[in-house]
Chains A and B, each alone.
Chain A
Amino acid sequence: MTIQGPPPPQEVTPLERWTRWSKENLFSSFFNSVLSIASIAIAALAIRGLFSFVFAPERKWYVIPPNMKLYWTDVYPPEVMGRMWVTLGLVLTLTGLSLAIWRVGGHLTPARLARVAASVGSSLLVLAALVSIPAIVRIWIAVVGVICWAASWLIKLLWSGGEEAETISTMWVLIGTLVAVLAVLWALHIETGTKVSLTVQAAVFIGAYIVGLVVRDWIPNAVTRSSLVAFWLLSLPLVYLVIQRDPDVSAVPVTTMVIPFAAAFAIVGAAYMWWAGSANPGEVAKLVAALLFVAAIASWFTSIAMLPRFLLLALAVFGLAAPTFGGTDQGRKGLVIGWVVMDLLIAYFMTMAMAKTGIPVLGDFIGGLNLTFLLSIAGIVLAFPIGIMLALGRTSTMPIFRLLSTGYIEVVRGVPLITVLFFANLVINRFLPQDIRLDDIIKAMIAVALFAAAYLAENIRGGLQSIPKGQREAAQAVGLSTVQMTVLITLPQALRAVIPAIVGQVITLFKDTSLVAIIGLADFLRIARDVVPNQPGSLGSMQESLLFAVVIYWIFSFGTSRASMRLEKKLGVGER
């Protein structure tokens, strides 16, 4: 090797670039060349096989579109289907806002975009050429491929010269794709009602994103982000208890019980918070909080109504937390306002949960993919506080807590989820007072949450143990109390460290919810496996239905995992 200066810049043709790339990456040595050729062959065979399965003439894909309603919502009555669209609209609105506020999505150079479009186009063309599929499908795939190529060429033409300074936001590219998909949708033979609904939903999503972009520049990020998180958390009970259950609230209990209780607790609780959040409430405050806690526990053994039980418990928790967050004027105000808001929320949602449903269906009316989502989201959201408590309990120095947490975690991790579901279905009502009977769905949510909490606790414990001792010592040196140290120093770091594990768990949970079929709930997989293939009009379509289910499950699992990767990058997980 003679030492040379930098090579003179020269124009590289795409072909040369491609051969150089493949030489470096695919055929760098004899062994690697063999491996590359073998894996390309295997991949080609697999894709070919899959396509010839999917497009075989005997496939009954026609059974899937008419059953869309069944897959998504099961027996939910068509006349109140609007509630499901409202649910979707709410979720899409929050998603659009969040995407804008959290500045999700990077930027693409036009050249890169053109390359992506061209590669998609060429892979489609290769597919159309190689796979044994009906001619009409072949033509369609080829047409889409050509359109991609044309788009790529157009981009190059518009942004000629490749001024690298100019970039396109990835989000706008995605929104453009969404509009294109909608245009294709209108060309298909689908019910007009569905088309209009989907278009409205897409418009809602894009509108929310634009609103988010505008808001982003006017309101400080901290405010929008925290309120969005609050809305996300509120959306779950709102969707299940209010939007989808359509509670039929009767006026009598509201005027005689809910309003007096909520008002009394709001006033007294606010006064108590004002006092407990003062600079130096002393030992009496702790005593009162402890007594409240005992009273809250004891209230479950009396025949008192549900609302005061929950309110007492919440007030006790606030009382116990007051010394940590109080002490300053701002903290004090936060405690008082927080309590009043909490009181009103509990009163509202309890009332909604207690009311009979107004949906004109007998029996369970929540099912399909909607139920799968409700279960997995409720499971993970409810599991979070329990899991954190268990993790802290397992790492605490108090023997009783440690024993109880360890025992719970090990017992739950030692039994299959099916067992937990069965047990919950048969036993939860026995633990509750006589006058309370929970729906099967609520029982399943509790079971899934309790199960997930044990695994989550172990993940979080791993995070807690990964925090260097120095952090704790520093916190103690500054004079933080144990609670402050946990809430402000160790927990945030621990949670950040275990994001990948938690996301893995969310994905697992999402798929594991299909086990609720065993306690008689009609989740997405049961619809796909048992219900649709056994309709008189769609016999023998089990493979199609299951493949559809596979694709849907995969889209959401994969989407979650991609989103978590972005989150990790943003938070710099694993880069210390």
Chain B
Amino acid sequence: MRKRIILLVVVFAMIAAACASGGEATSTTAGNETTTTTAAPAQTTSGSLLDTIVQRGVLRCGVNETLPGFGSKDSSGKFVGFDTDLCRAIAAAVLGDSTKVEFTSLTAAQRFEAVSSGSIDVLSRNTTWTQSRDGELGLTFAPTTYYDGQQVMARTADGFTADSTLADLQGATVCTNAGTTTEKNIQEALDAIGVKFTLTTFEDFNIVLQNFKDGACDAVTTDGSGLVSRKSTDEPAPGDWVIFPSVPLSKEPLGPATKQGDAIFADAVRWTIFAMFIAEENGVTSANVDEMKANPPTGEIGRLLGGDGEKQTAMGLSADAFYNVIKQVGNYGEVYDRYLTPLGLKRGLNALWINGGLLYAPPAR
């Protein structure tokens, strides 16, 4: 009996020891929780997401993996595309290293929840800036990086030409993919002019296009950028398909978005994009940025690249933040040429204001 009691005591002593040492157990978080900030790079940023990202050392960015040219994965599994490079640019500005991005590919349905729940820092997923998203959904949009607009694509064999209008879709079967504003737009536009047509939706634009090729659809509709890129790759013979109307039936300004209520981080994102505009405007590229930094042609370029009188540190960024952006990612034009020009997308509205486009950045002073 005594032996048993001793054993019991031993067992309970063991449990007690386990509990006691459990108190001083090291925590084993996977780094998901934000720790309290200790040293802020600048006084103004304390409490901002900007600080959290610097502490974490990684920018978390929500992107698309299903939109050629804007966001997709190459065969080695690397995220490529216009929107993904904007994330890299922001990482270069905030962290000084464009590779420090943790990409999350999101569906159209998941994207807003991901921003508001804080599981991503910035959403760069061909998202249209709208009033409701600005208001109800609680997003803050960065400057528009791509001006898109919904158009229709149909076959020239059916008598459609570049001068066709929406009225010519009378009695046609129009196909599009579900889950975006695209179907609502075409419905509204055609109802407004009293055109009777059949709208068929599919889950995915690849399936829409397959049906269009098989003749199940007379016309397909989505953003112009998508139509142009698919026309360049899938058209059976040049001139078989045509995109109209020349003035798109909707405005789709696409750009990165962050969570509302964090002006400091939103400013950092906004000026990263403006810096890319200004760099292109002044001919600063990733190739010549070192030379430009050494002897800047204008005061503005000097300031932007971290020279005397720079304004970056006041925003909570490092002085050479935008130098890093241009050096590691490139200016706006370079990123555009990297991904969108090969798809046959002309600059059009997305040219700089000096070239008759809409891209216009405030002065860096």
Contacts and interface: CB of A to CB of B under 8 A. Distances in A.
B169 interface: no
B18 A67 contact: no
B101 A362 contact: yes
Contact of A292 (B11, B17, B30, B343): B11
A105 interface: no
A362 B58 contact: yes
Interface string B95-109: 000001111111000
Given A302-B22, A531-B72, A534-B72, A76 B342 contact: no
A376 interface: no
A69 B7 contact: no
Interface in A36-86: 66-67, 69-70, 73-76, 78
A312 B103 contact: no
Given A435-B27, A530-B65, A284 B4 contact: yes
B66 interface: yes
Interface stretch (B203-211, B304-312, B355-363): B203-211
A439 B31 CA distance: 11
A78 B100 CA distance: 18
A436 interface: yes
Contacts of B74: 535
Contact of B19 (A302, A306, A439, A520): A302
B66 A257 contact: no
B139 to A, nearest CB: 20
B78 interface: yes
B354 to A, nearest CB: 29
B162 interface: no
Interface in A250-268: 252-253, 256-257, 260-261, 264-265, 268
Contacts of B131: none
A235 B78 CA distance: 29
Given A257-B21, A362-B103, A539 B233 contact: yes
**Which of B4, B23, B65, B206 has most chain A Cβ within 10 Å?**
B206
Interface of B: prevailing SS: mixed
A67 B75 contact: yes
A142 interface: no
A489 B235 CA distance: 68
A435 B106 CA distance: 27
B66 A534 contact: yes
B57 to A, nearest CB: 10
A217 to B, nearest CB: 46
A418 interface: no
A520 B105 contact: yes
A134 to B, nearest CB: 19
A14 B74 CA distance: 55
Interface string B56-85: 001010000111110011111110100000
Interface of B: 4, 7-8, 10-11, 14-15, 17-19, 21-23, 25-33, 58, 60, 65-69, 72-78, 80, 100-106, 110, 204, 206-207, 209-210, 229-230, 233-234, 339, 342-343
20 contacts: A66-B75, A70-B77, A74-B77, A260-B21, A265-B14, A288-B8, A288-B11, A292-B15, A295-B15, A299-B22, A312-B18, A362-B58, A436-B28, A438-B30, A534-B206, A535-B73, A535-B74, A536-B339, A540-B209, A540-B234
Given A66-B75, A69-B77, 8 more contacts: A256-B26, A265-B14, A284-B8, A302-B19, A354-B28, A520-B110, A529-B204, A536-B72
